[in-house]
Amino acid sequence: MRLILLGAPGAGKGTVAKLLTQIDGSVQISTGDILRGAVRDGTDLGKEAEGYMNRGELVPDSLIMGIMGERLLEDDCKSGFLLDGFPRTIPQAEELKTLLEKLNIDLDFAVNLNVPKDVILDRLTTRRTCSNPECQAIYNVKSMPSKVEGICDKCGSPTIQRDDETEEAITKRLDTFNEQTAPLVDFYRDEGLLLDVNATSSDVVVSTIKEKLAG
């Protein structure tokens, strides 16, 4: 499958993407994960991106398009891809459209994960992520805790709060989303690609997507 996952921070894009990869081997491509990896490795890209990320602002479109232009050419994308956190601005969506046309790739849908605001805020402040870069499992101290507090079930590494998950950065990320990313819903509706789903439960999102793909 070839999907774009749209939704506010905390809407569950990463969780849904991970569940979908298990269905048909499509790869999850998360620009947030790629950028955090670059920050961790101290690359030039990471150095450029870090400040924007910690402030809850978007990284410049040119950096993101550089990353994605290369990523989409890699072999593993041939079995399908789930774009998690990209595109995030209208210029990114326009450039992606041109790029996919050039590569002769059709998208199935852009899935809009709709979640009420209070649920979003609650999820973001209670989210924990596995600190092991190879794992990055996602937990929630209230609704999906790890078996041992602070320790990842899958790999035993500590689970942590991300640097951009302070209250201040979260508020800023939500503002950024409303200003720059929410307009993509109309963009994809106009393209005839929008699938709008109620995303309070990730399992329901996955079954809705499966049904729509089946026809």
Query: What are the residues binding ligand ADP (CB under 6 A)?
Result: 9, 31-32, 35, 52-53, 56-59, 64, 85-86, 88, 92, 164, 173
SS3 114: strand
154 binds, among Zn ion, ligand ADP, none (CB under 5 to 8 A by kind): Zn ion
Query: Is 130 one of the binding residues for Zn ion (CB under 5 A)?
Result: yes
Q: Work out which of 23, 73, 155, 160 binds Zn ion, going by CB under 5 A.
A: 155
Smallest distance from Zn ion to CB 65, Å: 31
64 binds, among Zn ion, ligand ADP, none (CB under 5 to 8 A by kind): ligand ADP
155 binds, among Zn ion, ligand ADP, none (CB under 5 to 8 A by kind): Zn ion
Query: Is 114 one of the binding residues for Zn ion (CB under 5 A)?
Result: no
12 binds, among Zn ion, ligand ADP, none (CB under 5 to 8 A by kind): none
Under DSSP, the state recorded for 145 is -
Q: Which of 197, 186, 182 is nearest to 89 (CA)?
A: 182
Query: Is 142 one of the binding residues for Zn ion (CB under 5 A)?
Result: no
Cβ–Cβ < 8 Å for 80, 26: yes
* Residues pairing with 191 in the sheet: none
Measured from the CB atom, is 2 or 213 closer to ligand ADP? 2
Cβ–Cβ < 8 Å for 160, 167: no
* Residue whose structure tokens are 């800023």: 172
Smallest distance from ligand ADP to CB 18, Å: 13
Q: Which stretch binds Zn ion (CB under 5 A): 1-9, 89-97, 124-132, 181-189?
A: 124-132
How many C-beta neighbours within 10 Å does residue 25 have? 10
Cis check: omega of the bond before 158, within 30 degrees of 0: no
Q: Which residues contact 169 (CB under 8 A, 6 or more apart)?
A: 54, 55, 56, 163
Q: Which residues bind Zn ion (CB under 5 A)?
A: 130, 132, 135, 137, 152, 154-155, 157
